Amino acid sequence: MPRPRAWTLEADLPAFLKGAVVGLVRSDERDLSARQLSVFLICCTLPGPHTVRGLAALLNIAKPAITRATDRLVAARLVKRRPDPTDRRSIHTVVTETGKAYLQQLGSLLADAAAQAEAGSEPQADTLRRRRS
């Protein structure tokens, strides 16, 4: 009996991305734009402090675009703005507890997408909806 092919990110990237995006769309989680998700993930995964200027430099986009993305993340309660205690002119973007929970759910959803890509099947909407419960 032939051995099944090992899943690789390079070979299965389109299926993985499709599964991840379809899973996000089908879930009850917040819909974030690519820009909002990028800002959020940088704040979650890279050591801070994170300022509009720093985020704009990392993403190589204009500061107003970072401000708009951050405004939406604040409205979704995924991040909050906090004055820099050493320089009150500077504002830091900090991940909230709600944001940390969202990151965990996102990680689970991506793990499911990877498993689905490996199995060659579609993400299941009922499985994703149960994550919210």
Give the H/E segment covering residue 83: strand 79-84
- With vertex at residue 35, the alpha carbon angle to CA 29 and CA 39, rounded to the nearest 5 degrees, is 85
Which CATH code, of 1.10.510.10, 1.10.10.10, 3.40.50.800, 3.30.930.10, is assigned to 33-119?
Answer: 1.10.10.10
Question: Which of the four pLDDT bands, split at 50, 70 and 90, describes residue 121?
Answer: low
Token pair for 95? 């991940």
Q: Which residue has the higher pLDDT, 92 or 21?
A: 92
Domain-wise residue ranges, the chain: 33-119
Task: Tell me what the mean pLDDT of segment 50-60 comes to.
Answer: 96
Per-residue model confidence (pLDDT) at position 8: 66
Rounded to whole angstroms, how far apart are CA atoms 115 and 84? 42
Task: Look at the pTM and tell me if it is higher than 0.75.
Answer: yes
Per-residue model confidence (pLDDT) at position 58: 95
**Per-residue model confidence as pLDDT tens digits over 2-29:** 555 565 666 677 877 887 888 788 877 7
